[in-house]
Amino acid sequence: MHYTQEHIRFRKRLQRFCKEEIIPYIDQWEKNGLVPREVWRKMGREGFLCTAILPEYGGLGGDFLFSVIALEEMTRTNHYGLDAFLHSDIVVPYIDSFGSDEQKYKYLPGCVCGDIITAVAMTEPDAGSDLSAMATTAIEEDDVVSINGVKTFISNGVNCNLVVIAAKDPTIENPYRAISLYLVEEGTPGFQKGAPLQKLGVHSQDTAELFFSNCRVPKENRLGEKGTGFMILMEKLQQERLLVAILANTMAAFALDWTIESLRTQRTSNGSGQLSQSVRFALVEMSTEINLGRTFLEKLISDHMEGRDIVSETSMAKFWNTEMANRVVGGCLELCGEMAMSESCPVVRTFRDVRVTPIFAGTNEIMKSIVAKNMKL
């Protein structure tokens, strides 16, 4: 990968922003269970949101490396609550790639500046990775679409003011051709947000249920052609899973770096000698796994930027890096000793937050099934 001077300046600016505008407030956001919307606006004003969007809509028009840098630096704050990469690199690309000119001019500038926070509503109480099982319906009549259903575990579910929702036409027998995507704005009659869900980790990430009861939106709010929702979602999953793999790898690297520095500090303050062989070997093994994963990811980042079809490889990277990250962070927590019982130990938060990575963006079982299918097994 080749980082230009523009990439390097962008990283330094974001590091400074994280130090001044994010890290000092993380504990309070975790207690509140929410990141204030004003923080999103500050990120937008600094040009840290939706970096791939063209200048025509207010964006930077940057390549995928800007997204990688943003994800890495945000993750290194040891805080996943501000789910900017979901907004910038997963949801907004649906609008950018498949939206009409009217939709792009209406929504993209707000997404770039942080006035609009997006969410994607796919998961339901009885339909997770299997989208064909979704029960949410969308019935088009004349120029209006009536949406009914419940979506759950929706990230940015409280803060969002624009939702990309997947729903299906109950009159179409093929469940995959029945799915369409629609844009639903906050305040639309029939659209309600549930209370934030209480979770094991990512406490300041506003995850919620979304309720649609005779929610009526203009037919012009459909994203793409009718019945193409499933294909649209599938087309963007390669990037989503690659980003989750990068997220997990960076979380593991953060935990290991902090643990090594903590052990060095303890050794110095206690006047003790070299770490025991078992501890040193454990740290070496964890570092090796992180670097192996990172090497694979760098290749995939380059392949993705070249437009190659790497669905199997990104699925491999997603399940391997997320499982590795859970092993490494768990191992780091063990090496933290009695500190692991205190919330003052940063690895405690990393341990909680990393638990979700094998689940979202498609469970790791789904990832392995995709690879097995492509291997014709």
State the architecture of 230-374 in CATH terms: Up-down Bundle (1.20)
Over the chain, what is the mean pLDDT?
Answer: 96
- Judge whether residue 275 has pLDDT over 70: yes
What pLDDT, on the 0 to 100 scale, is given for residue 268?
72
Q: Where are the domains of the chain?
A: 5-116, 119-227, 230-374
User: How large is the C-alpha radius of gyration of the chain?
Assistant: 21
Please tell me if the domain spanning 5-116 has the same topology as the one spanning 119-227.
no
What pLDDT, on the 0 to 100 scale, is given for residue 266?
84
Give residue for tokens 């230009």. Answer: 4
| Closest-CA residue to 279 (of 290, 292, 268, 263) | 263
Average pLDDT over residues 108-130: 94
Comparison of pLDDT for 109 and 338, the residue scoring more: 109
Lowest-confidence pick of 73-77, 100-104, 269-273: 269-273
Give residue for tokens 């097995």. Answer: 372
To the query of whether residue 240 is one of the catalytic residues in this protein, the response is: yes
Please give the CATH topology (third level) of the domain spanning 5-116. Answer: Butyryl-Coa Dehydrogenase, subunit A; domain 1 (1.10.540)
Residues of the chain with pLDDT > 90: what percent?
93
Strand partners, 137: 148, 168
- Judge whether residue 273 has pLDDT over 80: no
Q: What is the pLDDT of residues 125-171, one digit of tens each?
A: 998 878 889 999 999 999 999 999 999 999 999 999 999 999 999 99
Residues 369, 370, 376: CA angle, nearest 5 degrees: 90
- Judge whether residue 353 has pLDDT over 80: yes
Rounded Cα gap, residues 4 and 136, in angstroms: 45
Residues of the chain with pLDDT > 70: what percent?
99
Q: What is the pLDDT of residues 194-239, one digit of tens each?
A: 999 999 999 999 999 999 999 999 999 999 999 999 999 999 999 9
**Which pLDDT band, with edges at 50, 70 and 90, does 106 fall under?**
very high
Q: What is the pLDDT of residues 278-292, one digit of tens each?
A: 999 999 999 999 999
Reduced 3-state DSSP string for 99-131: CCHHHHHHHHHHHHHCCCCEEEECCECCECCCH
- Judge whether residue 271 has pLDDT over 70: no
Q: Which CATH superfamily groups domain 119-227?
A: Butyryl-CoA Dehydrogenase, subunit A, domain 2 (2.40.110.10)
The catalytic residue among 72, 73, 209, 240 is: 240
Rounded Cα gap, residues 330 and 311, in angstroms: 29
What pLDDT, on the 0 to 100 scale, is given for residue 299?
98
Average pLDDT over residues 16-40: 97
Rounded Cα gap, residues 246 and 240, in angstroms: 10
Contact 350, 340 (CB under 8 A): no
- Judge whether residue 272 has pLDDT over 80: no
- Judge whether residue 269 has pLDDT over 80: no
What pLDDT, on the 0 to 100 scale, is given for residue 132?
86
Residue 312: alpha-carbon gap to chain centroid: 19
Contact 300, 317 (CB under 8 A): yes
